[in-house]
Chain A
């Protein structure tokens, strides 16, 4: 056999193979996990869910693309993270929100929160959560005009269950309605079952760790149970379930608080983070000015994440903690 020599081979450091899970695939799985909630939302609020979500996704991707283009940075649209952000912003607003306000939200999320800090992986707080809060404060009326679920009869707008709870004067939906999602609220947060399916999918695929969702939801449940048990304002168990199903807890716990970039790295840190989110959520809901506190709680815990990371030192193989000698 003729012998041929190759002496211009690629030399690189080991390992020479890599896992097939990359950032794009992780983001694609998150998008897939959001599909059940999207479908329920369409069923509950109608076709505007589709158009508003599209507007959010397209503008988020556009802002990401345009910023990279203008700043001559490497194009990161391909990692799909802008799509995730766009969908999450859509899920965090009412279905009737004017399109231009949604676009403003995407601008805040992608340009202000994400790209100005250095792009994916560098943002100190969750872009979608921050966008929701900015919109909520800036466009209070539009952001709290909740379109009626199609199941309800007359009237053009309704209140969210938490709104009813805070303002009084209405009848709370029963827990089954809330579990299925036939209630007023932000587009993607209404159906607990759909979000649960998506969340379990992500845990099963090892995209997210169950620690943050469990601690978050668990804290909300326990806190509510104790509060209503002590005050006797209602059936403690029923109200605890109500608080878990109402508002953004499910969406926040599975999809927003678990954002890798803005949550702690180590398991112990995740526990603190999840419990913190649950506590702040309940403090705002029960004593705060706003009926809902999930987005504020996640934002605050995002800000605390670097401290939590420093606080939780890991015991490594071979004994001593990181600062012991």
Chain B
């Protein structure tokens, strides 16, 4: 086991909701289910206006390799197919369903019968699972790497290094059985020898709880792995290094290093799917931020509007100026709270005016904090200079493509320079120049 650590930074944890047991939100009047909730080809709606749908019914799918099907999270009537500008830019088709609040379960819902890898992978695809840590890469592809004979280790990402978010923490305490059975199923069918659950040490109760559950079941090939409570220990490439000691370059898949890695919620959903047969139709998320009246952890149907979720949390206690999907370090700022919850939402954070202002950028004083913060020892100041010159070769030589956009450099910069964002732009320059 590696005892070496990559460079990291201390970011205040703000885990206000760690003690808040998850509350299940009542079904809202209307849900809008996006057809593009994963990396890859968007789904085509399989329903039309006027159709009656039930919970768990397939409503969107596409015949593409990188994709995941989408299911209805409610029972009710499709009242429209809407186009909406999505948070990532581009347009999104939304299936708008007026709910009847009966939550009738679709007839076909039953636990899958599986006896080999192919069946397991198909079941995972049918469940609509995507990477729930944030990247939303379809899970069935991750679980079926081309070098399936060479993978040996399962890593569960339960670091939850983003400030504010506690949904994975609550999941480990509340859905322990599903998590462990999900891991065991994945290890059994993919053929993995050992499994690690990487958890930051600021969640000692979750670590103790899982250790006890594993010991009670007599499971010895799954262990918890304590990570430093520093940012960004939950980044995929950092986590692989911390646990296995192997360096994972940009563009390399975990499977190339013998590792299957996914977020803790993903595995819990695998367990839940094999127990109940219910695909991914609801999501646990942390609702917090200084504009939210009652921060809490919520399970909401996918497609619930963000303002409905916040209304369930007591509404806004002051006017929100910035709302994030995800954590404050890597989360996405959205322009409106009239947006639906998607599969990978693990947090909704709403901030008041004073916490939303973008700090004014001042001159670099060459202090080197960005370089000391970078897990990959990149030199963000040099990268920013190269970007100013649009010097693709220099950007490439300085390894801009290694940047995972964790934002540590921007966070730490005393001059408030948006260094992480500049790296993102720098990557585009390199790609455009076609430098390999």
Contacts and interface: CB of A to CB of B under 8 A. Distances in A.
B15 interface: no
B328 interface: yes
A216 B97 CA distance: 71
A10 B375 CA distance: 29
Interface string A13-28: 1111111011101100
Contacts of A265: 366, 368, 371, 379, 381
Nearest to B14: A17
Contacts of A3: 307-308, 311
Interface stretch (A85-93, A98-106, A117-125, A187-195): A117-125
B376 A317 contact: yes
A18 B398 CA distance: 25
Given A316-B402, A318-B249, A121 B364 contact: yes
B390 interface: no
- Which secondary structure dominates where chain B touches chain A? loop
B215 interface: no
Given A317-B377, A318-B399, A18 B359 contact: yes
Given A14-B332, A18-B413, A22-B415, A1 B322 contact: no
A16 B418 CA distance: 10
A76 B362 contact: yes
A6 B420 CA distance: 28
Interface residues of B, number: 68
B337 A6 contact: yes
A118 B366 CA distance: 14
Contacts of B363: 76, 118-122
Given A7-B335, A23-B414, A265-B371, A14 B329 contact: yes
Contacts of B368: 209, 260, 265-266
B365 A6 contact: no
A81 B364 CA distance: 13
A309 B421 CA distance: 24
Contacts of A315: 377
A94 to B, nearest CB: 30
Interface residues of A, number: 45
A289 interface: no
Contacts of B323: 6, 9
B373 to A, nearest CB: 9
A73 B315 CA distance: 43
B6 interface: yes
Given A317-B376, A317-B402, A6 B336 contact: yes
A11 interface: yes
Contact of B416 (A7, A22, A119): A22
B211 to A, nearest CB: 31
A254 to B, nearest CB: 16
B414 A25 contact: yes
Given A6-B337, A318-B399, A14 B371 contact: no
Contacts of B378: 316-317
A122 B364 CA distance: 8
A19 B9 CA distance: 10
Contacts of A319: 247, 249
Given A6-B337, A322-B398, A121 B332 contact: no
A114 to B, nearest CB: 11
Nearest to B416: A18
A11 B87 CA distance: 10
Contacts of B371: 265-266, 314
Contact of A316 (B336, B355, B399, B405): B399
B397 interface: yes
A168 to B, nearest CB: 42
Nearest to A16: B328
Interface string A226-260: 00000000000000000000000000000000001
B276 interface: no
A316 B365 CA distance: 22
B32 to A, nearest CB: 14
B407 A9 contact: no
A13 B359 CA distance: 12
Given A10-B322, A318-B376, A5 B367 contact: no
Contacts of A12: 322, 333, 358
A156 interface: no
A142 interface: no
Contacts of B410: 14-15, 18
Contacts of A81: 365
Interface string A162-192: 0000000000000000000000000000000
B375 A317 contact: yes
Contacts of B11: 17, 19
Interface in B312-356: 315-316, 319-324, 328-338, 351, 355-356
A209 B369 CA distance: 11
A15 B365 contact: no
Contact of B315 (A1, A14, A316, A323): A1
A148 to B, nearest CB: 39
Contacts of B249: 318-319
Given A13-B424, A265-B368, A322-B398, 17 more contacts: A8-B335, A9-B321, A9-B322, A10-B333, A11-B333, A13-B421, A14-B331, A15-B328, A15-B407, A16-B331, A18-B411, A19-B413, A120-B363, A121-B366, A260-B367, A261-B365, A315-B377
Rank and list the top 10 A-B pairs by shortest CB-CB distance, nearest first: A317-B376, A7-B336, A15-B407, A121-B363, A13-B421, A16-B328, A318-B249, A260-B367, A17-B328, A10-B322
7 contacts: A7-B335, A8-B336, A18-B413, A120-B362, A265-B371, A314-B371, A318-B376
